[in-house]
Chain A
Amino acid sequence: MTVLSISGLRAEIASTGTEILRGIDLEVASGEVHAVMGPNGAGKSTLSAVLMGKPGYRVTAGSVTLDGVDMLALPTWERAVAGLHLVMQYPTEVPGVALDDVLTEALKSRGRATEGLNADLSAEAERIGFEERFLHRPLNVDLSGGEKKRNETLQLAVLRPRIAILDELDSGLDIDALRDCSRRVEDLSNDAENPLGVLAITHYNRLLTELRPDHVHILVKGQIVSSGGAELATVLETDGYAAFTGQDDEPAPSGSSLDDLFRI
């Protein structure tokens, strides 16, 4: 049983000092699926970046621990080795660097055997509909949005972290890819031996119809303003942003996207 514990986390953009996260408290345990939902500018991407230690942000208060180990004190690669994994919203293209070479190094730094990697990769590729020929090609180069997310999901499944942060897994995905990727994540979270804890950061409801969360948190202006079960997402759908701010001058939501719901 692993627990990612985020407590009183405050962070700002290093270059400007603009505070983005203003005291986040969250706890994600193995096998749990948490959704963090919020509008543009709520701090969703900053949260995922800060958890993984991306340069450009400064943590000003609070803590992030994985089974009691201080993640904020570790460089990015050691957080990954400790069991934290980030599925990126826009996976970076790395020209000339093949996926299998990266995963070989990733397994090595975890002290894991690499002999079974090719078989694992083929099996996972088959399972989530990722074309096998991409396995030996440069990372994300010339892949469509959907292929990039399948690639991210495949890496998640091969590396088997303890806690996964999904940053907008659904963006750029067609419905088939969304289903394939969500189901794979769902299966990992239900794994009998090593159930994955999931922190799914998302803008849209549609991910949650595939990846059914146990807990939903609403992130607004760098703070979690409400937490609850899956029903919260439904409240959002019907009542919109006003339900979480107490402001009653909000127009009724007209669209199906949270962009509309959260328009101020």
Chain B
Amino acid sequence: MLPLADLVLPTADEEIWRYSRIDQLDPGSFTASHPRTVVSGGAGATITSDRVDDIVEPDVFAQYNTEYQTTTVIDVPNGAMVAEPIVIDHHTVAGSAAFPRTVVRVGEGAQCTVVERFTSEAHAASLTVPVVAIEAAQAANVSYLAVNDVDTVAWQIGHQILTGHRDSTINISTVTLGGHYTRVRTESRSAGQGASLRQVALYFAAGDQMHDFRVHQDHDAPHTNSDLLFKGAVQDRARSVYTGLISIREHAKGTEANQTNRNLTLSEGAWAESVPNLDIRNNDVRCSHASTVGPIDPEQRFYLESRGLQPEIAERLVVLGFFDEVLSQLPALELVNELRTRVATRLSIGGAR
């Protein structure tokens, strides 16, 4: 086994870890152990816990995930419609390092929804290093939602690998509320003609939290499309970074790709950065990117206050309204109200001023 203490950390000098808190992580302070993982739903799919060792390992954390993996494999047969969402709950206990690995293979023309939720023991440091790999075969349709609600002193460094084959549709959603430092790196590849990818994310960081997103949309086939909408808010001294890259390869003509990242800074001391990038190697494409970082629109705040709403309440409504665009697109609607309440609760504790 690879001892955690031997994990050689990357440094923030490397571009891919720029802005991160990787320098503050002490892997040796955690003990590798399985999280408490519970899987429910999924009639019509085959769910096992067999190891999967052949996933691309872009960094040392993915390597350790291979080594220590707690595996959930979901296979959806060709043509199968799995109506009920498959829900995977992981809970990481105090002081431990957990390595959940979820592999979703959706057969031709098949359809399923997977929800993965991460929690950790309250008020305790822990490290969760999840890897999820999703492969959508021809004309498959898969929705995936990851909810990070680990404690605000916990660490999470996650990796998402998405592959969409011909005419497939992948909808991937991320809701990140927890973590002293939470990083989600998403590598998507539109591998077959006509593949479609929709990505949305909502993140809210308060206190001393930091959220770090690295997203790569790789268009590796003609007539593919991807659309990304990430919305975040930071308050108190919290930080967030979005770094996105759309790559369109030489042969990916007729491709359409968009990325939009919007951030609200709710306190003077909060900080958000947005770095969208484009790498376009074909002229016959349509691409757009937009990013904003700034405080709540003072006109919106004044409008609500002029109706008699206290500033805190006005602000909470505006922020929830800002997130609504993402919330309304999440799969598994029964979870959305719960999430909206969670976000509202988080907003009211931080003294968002």
A and B, one complex? Answer: yes
Which residues of chain A have a CB within 8 Å of any CB of chain B? 52, 54-55, 75-77, 80-81, 85-86, 88, 91-97, 101-103, 105-106, 109-110, 138-139, 155, 159
Q: In the complex, what residues of A have CB within 8 A of residue B318's CB?
A: 94, 97
Shortest C-beta distance, A102 to chain B (Å), equals: 6
Shortest C-beta distance, B245 to chain A (Å), equals: 27
How many chain B residues touch A (CB < 8 A): the figure is 24
The CA-CA distance from A145 to B109 in the complex, in Å, is 46
Q: In the complex, what residues of B have CB within 8 A of residue A106's CB?
A: 307-309
Q: In the complex, what residues of B have CB within 8 A of residue A105's CB?
A: 307-309, 313, 317
The CA-CA distance from A128 to B305 in the complex, in Å, is 24
Q: Is there a chain A Cβ closer than 8 Å to B300's Cβ?
A: yes
Contact in complex: B308, A77 (CB < 8 Å): yes
Interface 0/1 of B286-328, CB less than 8 Å to A: 0000000000011110111111111101100110111111000
CB-nearest residue of chain A to B320 = A96
Q: Given A95-B325, A97-B320, A138-B321, do A109 and B309 touch, yes or no (CB 8 Å)?
A: yes
Sample (29) of A-B pairs whose CB atoms are under 8 Å apart: A52-B306, A54-B306, A55-B298, A77-B305, A77-B309, A77-B310, A77-B314, A80-B305, A80-B306, A88-B306, A92-B300, A93-B300, A94-B317, A94-B321, A95-B322, A96-B320, A97-B304, A97-B317, A97-B318, A101-B317, A102-B304, A103-B307, A106-B307, A109-B308, A109-B309, A109-B313, A138-B321, A138-B324, A155-B307
Shortest C-beta distance, B273 to chain A (Å), equals: 23
Q: A81-B308, A101-B317, A110-B308 are in contact. List 16 more A-B contacts (CB 8 A).
A: A55-B302, A77-B306, A77-B314, A92-B299, A92-B303, A95-B321, A96-B322, A96-B323, A97-B318, A97-B320, A97-B321, A102-B304, A105-B313, A105-B317, A109-B308, A138-B324
Contact in complex: B304, A159 (CB < 8 Å): no
The CA-CA distance from A54 to B303 in the complex, in Å, is 9
Q: Is chain B's interface secondary structure helix, strand, loop, or mixed overall?
A: helix
The CA-CA distance from A105 to B297 in the complex, in Å, is 19
Shortest C-beta distance, B328 to chain A (Å), equals: 8
Which residues of chain B have a CB within 8 Å of any CB of chain A? 297-300, 302-311, 313-314, 317-318, 320-325
What 7 A-B pairs are tightest by C-beta distance, nearest first? Answer: A96-B321, A96-B324, A80-B308, A97-B321, A92-B303, A76-B305, A106-B307
Report which of A86, A93, A109 forms a contact with B306, defined as CB distance below 8 A: A86
Q: In the complex, what residues of B have CB within 8 A of residue A76's CB?
A: 302, 305-306
The CA-CA distance from A105 to B299 in the complex, in Å, is 18
Shortest C-beta distance, A104 to chain B (Å), equals: 10
CB-nearest residue of chain B to A103 = B307
Contact in complex: B308, A88 (CB < 8 Å): no
CB-nearest residue of chain A to B326 = A96
Shortest C-beta distance, B270 to chain A (Å), equals: 20
Shortest C-beta distance, B285 to chain A (Å), equals: 29
CB-nearest residue of chain B to A99 = B307
Chain A CB count within 10 A is highest, among B297, B308, B309, B320, for B308
Q: In the complex, what residues of B have CB within 8 A of residue A77's CB?
A: 305-306, 308-311, 314
The CA-CA distance from A93 to B297 in the complex, in Å, is 10
Q: In the complex, what residues of A have CB within 8 A of residue B323's CB?
A: 96
